[in-house]
A = this chain, B = another copy of it.
Amino acid sequence: MPKIYNLDQIRSALKNIDPIDAIEQGFLAYSEGKVVVPPVGELIFDDPPGDVHIKYGYIIGDEYYVIKIASGFYENTKRNLPPYDGMMLLFSQQTGAAVAILLDEGHLTNVRTAAAGAVVAKYMAPSKVHCIGILGTGTQGKMQLDYLKSVLKCREAIVWGRSQQSLDAYVHAMAYSGFQIRTTLETSEIPNNCNFIVTTTPARSPLLFVDQIQPGTHITAMGSDTAEKNELDPAILQKADIVVADSISQCIERGEIHHAIKTGILQPDEVVELGNVIFQKELQRHTEEQITITDLTGVAVQDIQISKAVYEALIS
């Protein structure tokens, strides 16, 4: 019988682990070819609209394999229900037996996504970040900023949102984050004032344009995880000195890099993979003037790593 844990137990366990390190190790293993990640399973519903993704895989020679189920049913908010739900399941690579069910309600996906943003900052940020820019006021808008705290010294942030109401709610929620937060309704304020930018929206047309981007800027684009979503003018990727994908194979199919490759202004061989950036210093930012972009679409190895780390904390 697998052990079953609820969200409260998972939140407690998270206090005893370092998700950023777990995710960093995962990207390393992934880019070294040690991770088996089949194509994502998908179910689409029309009425009400919803989608379910099944991400699964394993690190070769590891103790567990992991299956993650995550759903988004966007009309749930009309009934005051959370739109997202999910669970992560751990199984033994030795016997196939179910070991643990983490009923995380989607929270571990948020954690592993925010942790990936911190890994990116560790290797790609300018040496002096004077202001962090966040586009989007949702869960990742908050969590990305929160997770940057342990890897960047900067405590100034500007947040862009579509309404003053959502911006006010953001500032209220982040009151104890340790950041000095200003808000804006103008996207241009972000590239004008920030040299480390995170885009976290579900936008389907660009929010930032090539002429706005100043030398020395890093952008982590993590909102776009499908073929349709798009936050950056593809010309930004053409102008960038370094373009990093969490998974090259996945970023060819979805996300910002996908758009730039489709329009022909970026070639797949101009993209480097995050796991390689981590251990090859020459792939990291090496001047203060470079423009660098990282596209995060979410890779199953992040689910594998976060669920393993949480489970090990739960049983220790």
| Complex Cα gap A57–B84 (Å) | 19
**A159 CA to B95 CA in the complex, in Å?**
31
B38–A58 CB distance below 8 A: no
Chain B CB within 8 A of A197 CB: no
- Determine which residue in A43, A81, A85 has the highest number of CB atoms from chain B within 10 A of its CB, and name it: A43
- Chain B contacts of A56 at CB under 8 A? 41, 43, 54
Would you call A96 an interface residue if the criterion is a C-beta within 8 Å of the partner chain's C-beta atoms? yes
**Least CB distance, A273 to chain B, in whole angstroms:** 22
Q: Is the interface of A mostly helix, strand, loop or mixed?
A: strand
Q: Does A17 contact B (CB under 8 A)?
A: no
Count this chain's copies in the assembly.
Answer: 2
- Partner of A67 from B45, B69, B79, B103 at Cβ < 8 Å: B69
Q: In whole angstroms, what is the CA distance A103 to B71 when docked?
A: 21
B-contacting residues, A39-59, CB 8 Å: 41-43, 45, 48, 50, 52, 54, 56-58
24 CB < 8 A contacts A-B:
A1-B6, A1-B103, A36-B43, A38-B42, A41-B41, A41-B54, A43-B56, A43-B58, A43-B65, A45-B93, A48-B94, A50-B96, A52-B65, A52-B91, A67-B69, A69-B89, A69-B98, A73-B94, A79-B95, A81-B95, A81-B97, A85-B95, A85-B96, A85-B98
Interface residues of A (CB under 8 A from B): 1-2, 4, 6, 36, 38, 41-43, 45, 48, 50, 52, 54, 56-58, 65, 67, 69, 71-73, 76, 79, 81, 84-85, 87, 89, 91, 93-98, 101, 103
